[in-house]
């Protein structure tokens, strides 16, 4: 059980169906339980594409994506989603109550577990402020809540599933710096034993990551901790200074 949640990408090359050239080339890295791996790089570098391969949104042509040593191509999606929760870059809410949206994928969670998840995701206050609380209505696409509230509800939804692996795709960008910091401090305590892979735009979101992968044009051009990359990676320095 101690091994659950090990993610390994081994020489992964990936092209979208029908596309001529790959968007990811020769990607290799490992993320273990208790670790945070951050991915940074300019828009279009391939960060979302990279994350999407773990829950098997696409199948790869070359290399392997492994979850606890098993190629994800040998696992069915339901089995993967039991262990892996992805908070997508465009968080999706559907028409229904807040409770429906949070329980999505895990119906047996108690109300207390929903509130706990909301508290960690810094969404407790705005849900409590609603007259109907967890029973407040969400419009299709979440158009009646703000972008930051949408993100926090989708983070809470991921927490409710208690996954071994969390994938955060730019999940903190709509939050102000203070909320971002509070949320990540709370997340860090909750996900201490989980594997966390996080795509970020803001450098402050990832400075404490165990490993940062610098993605450029579908390739990992540099990797290391924040301090190491400041010394060794011109691409990273550019991102920090921008
Ligand atoms: P940002 O989210 O803007 O920071 O970019 P990203 O690093 O997440 O890039 P992403 O992985 O979304 O895209 C990498 C490349 O794949 C880009 O050239 C996209 O145009 C292309 N791409 C993304 N999604 C699709 C898709 O569904 N089909 C095809 N054919 N190409 C795609
Ligand atoms: Mg993206």
Number of domains present in the structure of the chain? 1
Ligand 1 proximal residues by C-beta, below 6 Å:
16, 19, 23, 41, 43-49, 89
Q: Is 157 inside any structural domain?
A: no
Q: Is 115 inside any structural domain?
A: no
Give ipTM to 2 decimals: 0.99
pLDDT beyond 90 at 129: yes
- For 18-47, what is each residue's pLDDT tens digit? 999 999 999 999 999 999 999 999 999 999
Q: Is 110 inside any structural domain?
A: no
Which residue intervals of 123-195 are DSSP H helices?
124-128, 147-160, 177-190
**Nearest-atom index, ligand 1, CA of 89:** 2
Q: Is 122 inside any structural domain?
A: no
CATH classification at residue 200: 3.40.50.300
Q: Is 123 inside any structural domain?
A: no
Task: For residues 147 and 72, give the distance between their C-alpha atoms in angstroms, rounded to a whole number.
Answer: 32
pLDDT beyond 80 at 3: no
Q: Is 106 inside any structural domain?
A: no
Task: For residues 26 and 36, give the distance between their C-alpha atoms in angstroms, rounded to a whole number.
Answer: 21
Q: Is 88 inside any structural domain?
A: yes
Q: Distance from the CA of 16 to the center of ligand 1, in angstroms?
A: 9
Q: Is 134 inside any structural domain?
A: no
Which domain range does residue 215 map to?
A: 7-92+165-241
């Amino acid at each position: 059980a101690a091994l659950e949640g090990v993610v390994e990408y081994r020489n992964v090359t990936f092209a979208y169906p029908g596309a001529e050239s790959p968007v990811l080339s020769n990607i290799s890295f490992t993320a273990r339980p208790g670790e945070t791996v951050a991915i940074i790089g300019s828009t279009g570098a391939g960060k979302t594409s990279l994350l999407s391969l773990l829950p098997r949104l696409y199948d790869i042509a070359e290399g392997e994506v492994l979850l606890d040593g098993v190629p994800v191509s040998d696992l069915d999606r339901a089995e993967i989603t039991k262990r892996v929760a992805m908070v997508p870059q465009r968080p999706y809410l559907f028409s229904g109550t807040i409770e429906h949206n949070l329980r999505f994928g895990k119906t047996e969670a108690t109300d207390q577990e929903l509130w706990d998840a909301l508290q960690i995701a810094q969404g407790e206050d705005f849900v409590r402020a609603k007259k109907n609380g967890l029973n407040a209505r969400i419009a299709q696409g979440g158009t009646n809540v703000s972008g930051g509230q949408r993100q926090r509800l989708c983070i809470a939804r991921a927490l409710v599933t208690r996954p071994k692996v969390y994938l955060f795709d730019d999940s903190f960008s709509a939050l102000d710096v203070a909320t971002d910091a509070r949320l990540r401090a709370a997340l860090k305590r909750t996900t201490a034993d989980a594997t966390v892979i996080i795509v970020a735009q803001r450098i402050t979101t990832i400075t404490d990551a165990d490993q940062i992968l610098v993605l450029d044009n579908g390739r990992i051009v540099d990797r290391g901790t924040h301090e190491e990359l400041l010394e060794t990676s011109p691409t990273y320095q550019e991102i920090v200074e921008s």
